[in-house]
Chains A and B, each alone.
Chain A
Amino acid sequence: MYLVLVVAGKEFQDGLRNRWVVAIAFILALLATGLAYFGSAASGQVGFSSLSSTIVSLASLAVFIIPLIALMLAYDGIVGEDENGTLLLLLTYPLSRWQLLCGKMFGHGLIMAFSTLTGFTTSACIMAIFSDELQWLDMLAPFSVFIGSAILLGWVFVAIAYVISTTVTEKSKAAGIALVVWFLFVLVFDLGLLGILVSTEGNVDAKWFPYLLLLNPTDIFRLINITYFADQQLSGLMAVVEHARFSIGSLMGGLLLWFLIPAVVAWVSFSRRAL
């Protein structure tokens, strides 16, 4: 366990050193604050107003940016060390492969968690200070759910990045695959589902169709934040869950599963990797 912490500590320190942590936190805080302030500009007004609409639009923003950040952060976790020559060296130390992998994933997970937390908490504080309507206590629960699920989403994509990183042998290839994965989960999947809906003119089985959304961690994340504000008008693809509402707990469990499965796959592929 100590060795896992040593590796994680180095990874986190690297994150601080090369400004990843600061950059992620800054981007998230800026986008969240901006979105909250200008979110209602379409209806002819600016300012911090409705908490529920802010969080729902924040969720649709986070769904694009967090997977991208997580993939960019972690795609070279293993393959980068391999290209450096340090992977062979590290494995001649009294360090097993799972300890190295766990340590690195833990370190990157910590970077994601820490910067998501500071970024969104900062913007929440700004909103609470400058808004007349928003109360501190009212914001606590929804923001906790939002930040918690955002951190989980980041971890899911860190784990997916490690699946890529442990299977390929070149860093540039890993970067390319990471981009394709992001594209598939964030854009193509939803378009595909929408395509099915449109081509069948909505004539799909309402019983099982919503479950297809669980095949995409980004959709689970959006569902969590929409479900929390049950009163929200559901729009777009999310409207299909109208008939099958999932509980927040089970959705969080789904995200957790989406983290555990790639993590195990990464471990299996890393232990088979030839040096």
Chain B
Amino acid sequence: MTNIVELCDVRKSYHQVHALEKLDLTLTEGEVLGLFGHNGAGKTTTIKLILGSITATSGSVRVFGTDPTLAGAREKRKSLGFLQENVSFYEQLSGYEVLRYFARLKGIRPSECQRLLDQVGLSDAVHRRVKTYSKGMRQRLGLAQALLGEPKLLLLDEPTVGLDPLATRDFYSLIQSLKEQGCTVILCSHVLPGVEKYIDRAAILGKGRLLAEGSIAQLREHACLPLTLKVRGKNIQIPAGLNYLPHIQQDEVLLQLLPHEKMSAMQSLMQQEGLSDFDLHLPSLEDLYSHYIEKMTGVGGTACI
């Protein structure tokens, strides 16, 4: 596996303001990375560094093996796709004309444009002016633009903003198929629910620092957040030493377990005859995100035993 993106001890500061500090991040071919963080956490700075739009104050940035700010890296941008937040294209042009302009700049045949516009579901609005497009349609056009020329690296900043649930699902299945073709994807998002299924790894940024990085399973293990087990049944004996919430409603018990307690607790519960149903809730990406952000700001935070 080759490394598509390598950030090594990268710092970026703008006039005494540290936008990024000591960032290390590596992406291999065909990997989908979710980049999460609060506003001003350094997501956009990270993206711009990878794009080569800005130079790092210190540390090294390598994209496709070269420094993206060098003139020699310009040709490699043909295999790079980028969709930024809040892009408003040339209002007076039609969707097709906008895409054709970008295709020409990338040296791609204009015949590709129609196919991409069909793919993102803009077939009916191809010849309408962008001025008349809704937010979701603009987002689709932006996506078509990012997909020009079968990119090997896709950087998507808030790609699903303005998309309806069906379009969002289509978008993620598109990402899935691109990933299967070997495309590396970086996904920046505020919209956490639903993303976890589609990403291989998550990186959580806060105040310019990398707070956590890894697959969801790794993050769960590292964060040691309790999982919730909802048990329903008659005469349930709760195994000794387990921490349960004082939420006993008729036949329902809510248990909070640490990851390493899960299996033994479940085994002992399963053997009980009165058990009629149970529901296991693992910490979601949202839970993990708030855990790390709270830990950074010093609010709450659970210690791992």
Which of A30-38, A52-60, A87-95 touches B?
Answer: A87-95
> Within the complex, which residue of A3, A10, A17, A89 is in contact with B82, where a contact is CB–CB below 8 Å?
A89
Question: Which of B53, B54, B86 has the most chain A CB within a 10 Å cutoff?
Answer: B53
Query: Which residues on the B side are within 8 Å of A84 (C-beta)?
Result: 87-90
| Docked-complex contact B86 and A94, CB < 8 angstroms | no
Q: Is the CB of B53 within 8 A of A94?
A: no
Q: Is B88's CB under 8 angstroms from A94's CB? A: no
Residues of B within 8 A of A85 (CB): 84, 86-88
Q: Is A203 an interface residue (CB 8 A)?
A: no
Contact between A93 and B84, CB atoms less than 8 A apart: no
Let me know if A17 and B92 touch, CB within 8 A. yes
Given contacts A18-B92, A94-B105, A94-B107, A89 and B87 within 8 Å (CB-CB): yes
Further 8 A-B residue pairs, CB within 8 A, beyond A17-B93, A90-B105: A14-B92, A18-B92, A85-B84, A86-B90, A88-B51, A89-B82, A93-B77, A94-B74
Whether A131 is near chain B, meaning CB under 8 Å from some CB there, is: no
- Asked whether, in the complex, the Cβ of B53 is within 8 Å of the Cβ of A91, the reply is yes
**Chain A hits for B82, CB < 8 A:** 89, 92
Is B106 a contact partner of A96 (Cβ separation < 8 A)? no
Cα(A18)–Cα(B105), bound, Å: 22
Q: Does A274 contact B (CB under 8 A)?
A: yes
Contacts of A89 on B, CB cut-off 8 Å? 82, 84, 87, 145
Q: For the complex, what is the distance from the CA of A94 to the CA of B82, rounded to whole Å?
A: 12
Tell yes or no: A275 within 8 A of B by CB.
yes
Residues of A within 8 Å of B77, CB to CB, are 92-94
For A88, give its contact among B71, B78, B84, B92 (CB under 8 Å). Answer: B84
Residues 243-275 of A at the B interface (beta carbon under 8 Å): 274-275
A residues 59-96 near B (Cβ < 8 Å) are 84-86, 88-96
Given contacts A275-B53, A275-B54, contact A93 B90 (CB under 8 A): no
Q: How far is the CA of A17 from the CA of B101 in the complex (A)?
A: 15
| Nearest 10 CB-CB pairings of A with B | A275-B53, A85-B87, A92-B82, A93-B105, A6-B104, A94-B77, A92-B51, A94-B74, A94-B78, A10-B101
Binding site for B on A (CB under 8 A): 3, 6-7, 10, 14, 17-18, 84-86, 88-96, 274-275
Q: How far is the CA of A95 from the CA of B106 in the complex (A)?
A: 8
> Which of the four size classes fits the interface of chain B?
20 to 34
Q: Say yes or no: is B260 at the interface (Cβ < 8 Å to chain A).
A: no
CB distance from B144 to the nearest CB of A (A): 13
Q: Is the CB of A14 within 8 A of B78?
A: no
User: Which residues of B lie under 8 Å from residue A6 when comparing CB positions?
Assistant: 101, 104-105
Q: How many angstroms between the C-alpha atoms of A219 and B101 in the bound complex?
A: 40
B204 cross-chain contacts in A, Cβ below 8 A: none
Q: How far is the CB of A118 from chain B (nearest CB, A)?
A: 22
Return chain A residues, CB-CB under 8 Å to B75.
94
Bound CA–CA A89/B78 (angstroms): 13
B52: which A residues are within 8 A, CB to CB? 92
14 contacts between A and B (CB under 8 A): A7-B105, A10-B101, A14-B90, A85-B86, A86-B89, A89-B82, A89-B84, A92-B51, A92-B52, A92-B80, A92-B82, A93-B105, A94-B74, A96-B74
Q: Which of A18, A88, A95, A96 contacts B53 (CB 8 A)?
A: A88
Q: Which residues of A contact B93 (CB under 8 A)?
A: 14, 17
Most buried by A among B75, B86, B105: B105
Inter-chain CA distance A6–B84, complex, in Å, is: 22
Closest-by-CB residue of B relative to A87 is B53
Closest Cβ neighbor of B44 among chain A residues: A88
Q: How far is the CA of A89 from the CA of B102 in the complex (A)?
A: 10
Q: B115 at interface (Cβ–Cβ under 8 A)?
A: no
A residues less than 8 Å from B145 (CB atoms):
89
Asked whether B48 is an interface residue with its Cβ less than 8 Å from the other chain, the reply is yes
Chain B min CB distance to A78 (Å): 15
